[in-house]
Amino acid sequence: MTEKSIPNGTRLWDEILKAIVDAMPEQLFSLFKEVFGKEYPKGTPIILLGTESSTYQENPDAPPSSRLSDIALLVNGTDYYHLECQMHNDQDMVIRMVAYDLHFAMQHTAEAEQEGNGVVMRFPRSVVIYPENNRKIPESLHCRIIFQDGSEHFYQIPTVRIQSYSLEEIHEKHLNLFIPYVLLRLRPRLKNKIKNPLTRKELTEFIGEVMIILGNELEQGYLTRKEYDDYVNLFRRAAEKVFEKHEDFRKEADRMTKPIIELPSVLQKRLYEENDELIARNKALMADNDALMESNDALMESNDALMESNDALMANNDALMANNDALMADKNALLADLAEKDAQLARMKELLRQHHILECV
């Protein structure tokens, strides 16, 4: 995960979540356990799905357009999830979620029933994540949908309010994907400097606790070294945004999250791990290369067979041409013979005519 891949504007908070999902999607498993009570072991297959859907079916007469949701994925080949990151308490969010989930179901889950002529669409497990603190955010978003036949459905999806979790809860539940957002809980104290201003000592202690949590997660195997580094990088980017107008706090956050000098033993361990990763990657590349070579050999054999078939067709064509030449020669000889016989017949007719004339005389 590179720093250039994460924007630094208003989209930063959305893109942080997308970056985590893209680089280390298994970090979502702790969130799924927390929100849906669904547990997955490490190594469970995850497929990231497209998030763009057409709005044509809503209004075919309108100019072509599309809707882009945040995150959609398929876990274990059976479970669909849809995640949205929302900074503000938007009252229309539930309407957009209904639209997102409907299009998601149409695109990914619509299928004919085994019995009957109907179609089944399954909505994904959806959740809206609110990174910033807002006491007006409900525990769930809901909407009562009334269909044309009078039947009703109560559409309801949970919300996740990151700032309602203490650092201890985040650590206990391994909700590491919340880490880059925890500095947002300090932002109100930056704006209100009179009643409860943030002090440098408090910031230092807060960041120190965050770094301890990440270090423990690394030691206990909940994070790889690369994932640890990614989280620190994202936390630094979040600090740049939160403290963009507070240079002293930004420098303190930068100082505490800078990579420290590695001891030789730690450096050696990390290099061995990186070397093992390179060897595994090289083996995978070699396997891919062998598969490509086998495919190339098969193509070469197929090409040789095609060449042999072409040579046979050419030889057959030459034989046909030779046979045609022979037939033409026979035809020409026959025509010449017929012409000679016609000439002989003409001569005989002439002789008979002259003989008849003499008899008459």
The tens digit of pLDDT for each residue in 312-334 reads 888 888 888 888 888 888 888 88
Distances (CA, A) of 207 to 24, 158, 166: 23, 29, 13
Residue 143, pLDDT score? 92
Q: Kindly list the domain boundaries of the chain, sorted by start residue.
A: 45-164
Residue 236, pLDDT score? 92
pLDDT band at 294 (very low <50, low <70, confident <90, very high): confident
Is-contact 186 40, C-beta < 8 A? no
Span 128-155, average pLDDT: 90
- Helix, strand, coil percentages (3-state) for the chain, rounded to 5, are 60, 15, 25
Residue 50, pLDDT score? 76
Q: How far is CA 16 from the centre of its chain?
A: 17
pTM over 0.85: no
Span 284-294, average pLDDT: 84
Span 70-85, average pLDDT: 92
Residue 274, pLDDT score? 73
**Contact residues for 3 (Cβ-Cβ < 8 A; gap 6+):** 233, 237
State the number of CA atoms in the 13 A half-sphere of 228 facing the CB. 20
Residue 56, pLDDT score? 35
Q: Specify the range with the lowest mean pLDDT, choosing from 54-68, 199-213, 240-254.
A: 54-68
Dihedral over Cα of 112, 116, 117, 122: its sign: negative
Helix H or strand E encompassing 79: strand 79-85
Residue 342, pLDDT score? 83
pLDDT digits (tens, 9 = 90+) for 154-163: 999 999 999 9
Q: How far is CA 50 from the centre of its chain?
A: 6
pLDDT at 221 over 90: yes
Residue 169, pLDDT score? 96
Q: Specify the range with the lowest mean pLDDT, choosing from 141-155, 164-178, 263-277.
A: 263-277
Span 119-131, average pLDDT: 92
pLDDT band at 181 (very low <50, low <70, confident <90, very high): very high
Is-contact 252 211, C-beta < 8 A? no
Residue 107, pLDDT score? 86
Alpha helix segments (H runs only) across 49-186: 93-108, 167-172
Q: Specify the range with the lowest mean pLDDT, choosing from 111-125, 160-174, 233-247.
A: 111-125
If you average pLDDT over each of 64-73, 109-118, 149-158, 187-196, which comes out highest?
149-158
Residue 154, pLDDT score? 93
Is the model more confident about 208 or about 336?
A: 208
CA dihedral 157, 162, 166, 167 (to 10 degrees): 130
